[in-house]
Chains A and B, each alone.
Chain A
């Protein structure tokens, strides 16, 4: 084994551990283990919350709160369950609370209104950079996909985001959303069909 990799392994003994094992160490009081979990999941949680509420600043606050809750409830975590399911459940619940709060304050929750907040373009991608001409079409398509995602009803959006954007299994999606497997499949299928209809003009551009 190369010396460099040995050194890296020694520097970060948590790197090769599973999420569940790292969480166990976190529950035993290891700050390094908690930091490892933050590093592993910060992007996924931020991405998930942003897809749901379309408000970057607020999404970052919620993402922080997700990790604070993980820390606060670390002794209550059971290793028998997947860590990813647990943390995504916390994130989805906090996001739903946020949406409910917005509904209460506004009287209604309008995705269009949220679009207006972001100038009708949705959130710009954080890694937005000038792209070569060949990639312009791909970037336009991605914007359209993100916009279509924001337009479908929340119950379908959350299912398809967890499955197709985050790549979770149907079982995990059902566990996180607390809905049976048949309902998960039905919602995901319906969401995909809705997205397909919205993206139809642009899919021709892609021309499979």
Chain B
């Protein structure tokens, strides 16, 4: 053991906290090194002196001043820094973080389980915006349908006057259900009826719904490709 490594053990030696092996090794060094031996003695005295320092006392009114501050309500008003440290402490914010993380996890799980559902409210416009227009020659006099299913897309006269064209069947996601929407319908009133009964071009193709014209009474309906007729149909263009 050299002086440098011995020095690291001085404090523990003074407090008798060394292992037997360390203590024997240090004692062996101290017997040979007068300088380290003196240093240990000085350190021992230093520690003793620290423990005998006189203490500072509070003033005589210390306790009563505290009690007065408590009675006045001052004690119950934390300072700004204390308030912040208490209310924004990591331990306090942990439930908020956990709730946020759980919410995010649920939302991600929902998206994974229902990949197409999230776009339902705005999906119509998205699909309409990305769907290519077709048969421009046949539908040139048909204005684009308006934004709501129940709103007549165009004046009835224009629709009726348009040339009949075979409906184009777009590939469906399921493969078994026609996915071509030949217009926006499900309307009431004469204008809507006229438009629906017209040989409408499939100007817009949606993969979520299709126009069912197979009703015997001539009633057309918009049916989700999923086949669940109870689904709410809400399409915007």
Interface residues of A (CB under 8 A from B): 31, 35, 38-39, 42-44, 46-47, 50, 56, 59-60, 63-64, 67-69, 71-72, 97, 123, 125-127, 141-142, 145-146, 149, 160, 164-165, 167, 185, 188-189, 192-193, 195-196, 199-200, 203, 206, 208
Chain B positions near chain A (C-beta within 8 angstroms): 7-8, 10-12, 39, 41-47, 49-59, 62-63, 65-67, 69-70, 74-76, 78, 81-82
- B225 nearest CB across to chain A (Å): 59
For A31, what are the chain B residues with a Cβ–Cβ distance below 8 Å?
A: 67
Whole-angstrom CA separation of A99 from B75 in the bound complex: 23
Contacting pair B43 A46 (CB below 8 A): no
For A138, the closest partner residue in chain B by CB is B52
A192 contacts B47, C-beta separation under 8 Å: yes
Among residues of A, the one whose C-beta sits closest to the C-beta of B47 is A164
Contacts of B52 in A (CB 8 A): 142
Given contacts A60-B62, A64-B66, contact A46 B47 (CB under 8 A): no
Query: Contacts of B75 on A, CB cut-off 8 Å?
Result: 68, 71-72
**A64 to B69 Cα, complex, angstroms:** 9
Report whether A68 and B74 are in contact in the complex, using a CB–CB cutoff of 8 Å: yes
> Which 10 A-B residue pairings sit nearest by Cβ, starting from the closest?
A164-B50, A189-B11, A47-B55, A50-B56, A68-B75, A125-B54, A126-B57, A46-B58, A196-B46, A145-B49
- Residue in chain A with minimal CB distance to B75: A68
Give complex CA distance A51, B45 in Å: 20
Of A63, A69, A71, A164, chain B has the most CB atoms within 10 Å of the CB of: A164
